[in-house]
Amino acid sequence: MYRLLALDMDGTLLNPHKMISPRVFHSIQAIIGKGVNVTIASGRFPASVWLHGMHVGMNSPLVAFNGAVILDPNTGEKLHGYPLSSDSARRIAALGQMMGTYVHFYGYSELFVEQLNEWNVKWPLANVVIDPEKAHTYENYKDQASRIQMKQVGSMVKFTEAASEQLYKATFISEDSQLLNEVFNELQSWNEFTLTRTGSRRFDVNAAGISKRSALEVVTRRLGISSDQVAAVGDYDNDVDMLQWAGLGISMDNGSDEAKKAANAVTASNSNDGVADVIERYF
């Protein structure tokens, strides 16, 4: 019997419109009502994870920033945090500058960027719980979007040298796939970080040993649950270790090849309520 369901967000819990479909919503609420623990394990901000968890009524500690933060499902307060060291952040920023690659850093509720632009200024709005009855504008979602602050810091190297904030994750983004691979391979050669590809144009950097799996191990200890009582669902490379560790690892049909290889089973895509199918079949 599975006692914990751990769900990735983008490409898994959320459909292509970045919403939880009615069928998935009601399926999750049904098993929570039966006493099953349900959590999110995502690379997103804690605020976004908490807002979505509250929306459904999730009842277990939630995982954000690929495992770098574990938060209370009721209050959104941090229970555990595993930030990058100050020296690591500085060296990551220096590599980005040397390679000419965009990189930004995440505080608990802040996104630190060198310059605000038309693209990154939309980040807070991209993290809200979307109401299909409301236009997706900042004004309509101000209460949610204001939980994530955009901070322009100028030189990222100078910022990381002087930063007093804890930085939980860095993200490199580039349209140049060859350049991005070069940066990825360079960081990988340092053997100091957990690197996870979260899309074809980007990858995340966390402290060594930090992953969705490592965070879920903490969550299961708190709940008194063993890994073989966990069902985990994901769709991308940052879900691989979670899928391999769980008693039942399930990839979405829209998942990457690596996610599918790591999984015990494949469910329908996120556009076809794959999470609801998992719940109906295994819970």
Measured CA to CA, the distance from residue 97 to residue 94 in angstroms comes to: 5
52 and 40 in a single domain? The answer is yes
75 and 215 in a single domain? The answer is yes
74 and 107 in a single domain? The answer is no
Which residue range(s) make up the domain with 114?
86-207
Question: Considering only CA atoms, which of 255, 219, 268 is closest in space to residue 40?
Answer: 219
Measured CA to CA, the distance from residue 198 to residue 227 in angstroms comes to: 24
Domain of 189, CATH number, reads 3.30.1240.10
188 and 99 in a single domain? The answer is yes
SS3 category, 259: helix
221 and 268 in a single domain? The answer is yes
Q: Do β-strands 230-234 and 248-252 pair in parallel, antiparallel, or remain unpaired?
A: parallel
28 and 65 in a single domain? The answer is yes
Dihedral sign (CA 264, 265, 271, 272):
negative
- How many residues would you count in the chain? 283
Give tens-digit pLDDT for 218-234.
Answer: 999 999 999 999 999 99
Question: Considering only CA atoms, which of 30, 43, 34 is closest in space to residue 3?
Answer: 34
Residues 6 or more apart whose CB falls under 8 angstroms from that of 150 comprise 110, 111, 113, 116, 120, 121, 123, 124
Give tens-digit pLDDT for 8-61.
Answer: 999 999 999 999 999 999 999 999 999 999 999 999 999 999 999 999 999 999
State the average pLDDT for the chain.
96
Q: Chain centroid to CA 238: how far?
A: 8
Residue 159 has pLDDT above 90, yes or no: yes
Measured CA to CA, the distance from residue 66 to residue 194 in angstroms comes to: 10
180 and 254 in a single domain? The answer is no
Q: What are phi and psi of 201, to 5 degrees?
A: -110, 10
Question: Considering only CA atoms, which of 240, 222, 195, 185 is closest in space to residue 62?
Answer: 222
Measured CA to CA, the distance from residue 259 to residue 4 in angstroms comes to: 20
Residue with tokens 């490379």: 237
92 and 177 in a single domain? The answer is yes
181 and 224 in a single domain? The answer is no
Last residue of a domain, one of 178, 207, 236: 207
Domain of 51, CATH number, reads 3.40.50.1000
Last residue of a domain, one of 191, 207, 223: 207
Last residue of a domain, one of 207, 228, 247: 207
The total domain count for the chain is 2
117 and 188 in a single domain? The answer is yes
- What's the pTM value of the predicted model, to 2 decimals? 0.96
Give tens-digit pLDDT for 126-137.
Answer: 999 999 999 999
CB atoms within 10 A of CB 178: 7
71 and 115 in a single domain? The answer is no
Average pLDDT of 188-212? Answer: 94
166 and 243 in a single domain? The answer is no
